[in-house]
Chain A
Amino acid sequence: EAGVVQSPRYKIIEKKQPVAFWCNPISGHNTLYWYRQNLGQGPELLIRYENEEAVDDSQLPKDRFSAERLKGVDSTLKIQPAELGDSAVYLCASSSRAENTEAFFGQGTRLTVV
């Protein structure tokens, strides 16, 4: 079974430029998460989707960040414009609604803003 797939793995951009990250969750997983992991920290939730609905986006900086999951499968996270402080690893995870299950993570996109 394929895991959570993210692309690109690495991205270097200049500040004020836009950037987008893509995530393909595990087939059949209704719940999709975007996390940000700063250096030396644990992952922090940015947004959670149930199917195509964003049910928790309270931690998403909405002035520059946006996300979508149009058909309830793949998702895109965008930053426009990027700032130096956005440098981090952006993680996508997915889970099913089965009881006693866990979230499965992708390898992440390491963003460097210069």
Chain B
Amino acid sequence: AQSVSQHNHHVILSEAASLELGCNYSYGGTVNLFWYVQYPGQHLQLLLKYFSGDPLVKGIKGFEAEFIKSKFSFNLRKPSVQWSDTAEYFCAVRRGTYKYIFGTGTRLKVLA
């Protein structure tokens, strides 16, 4: 079955620690990739997206993600997290006709 896997369900970090959240998908062919973030009490917001070109994508708030086609992965990274990064992070794959498939999400808690 087609799926998007986020292996870390809960992550707790101290401020200034580095972050890497894993995302793997099981589709072949061309895909568009996204990371969305949901801050407490807010709606899903786009962090970054990949369509083509440079596989290292820069997003908002210092986040970046790297598309590795051979590994079917699109991991999210941030060199130094802040307390305000506490949120839930969703990886999503869009294939063909605008259908987004989401991972189960990763809850990040950053300790001040």
Contacts and interface: CB of A to CB of B under 8 A. Distances in A.
B20 to A, nearest CB: 19
Interface stretch (B11-19, B65-73, B75-83, B94-102): B94-102
A31 B103 CA distance: 21
Given A42-B92, A48-B98, A99-B51, 4 more contacts: A40-B104, A43-B100, A105-B43, A108-B43
A51 interface: no
Interface string A31-69: 101000000111111001000000110000000000000
B48 to A, nearest CB: 10
Interface of A: 3-4, 31, 33, 40-45, 48, 55-56, 91, 93, 95, 99-100, 102-108
Interface of B: 4, 6, 9, 34, 36, 42-46, 49, 51, 90, 92, 97-100, 102-105
Given A41-B104, A42-B90, A100-B51, A105 B98 contact: no
Contacts of A31: 98
A104 B36 CA distance: 10
B104 A42 contact: yes
A8 B34 CA distance: 28
Nearest to A40: B104
Given A40-B104, A41-B105, A102-B49, A56 B99 contact: yes
A99 B32 CA distance: 11
Nearest to A38: B104
Given A56-B97, A100-B51, A43 B43 contact: no
Contacts of B104: 40-42
B43 A106 contact: yes
A79 B18 CA distance: 44
Given A42-B105, A100-B51, A102-B34, A91 B99 contact: no
A3 B98 contact: no
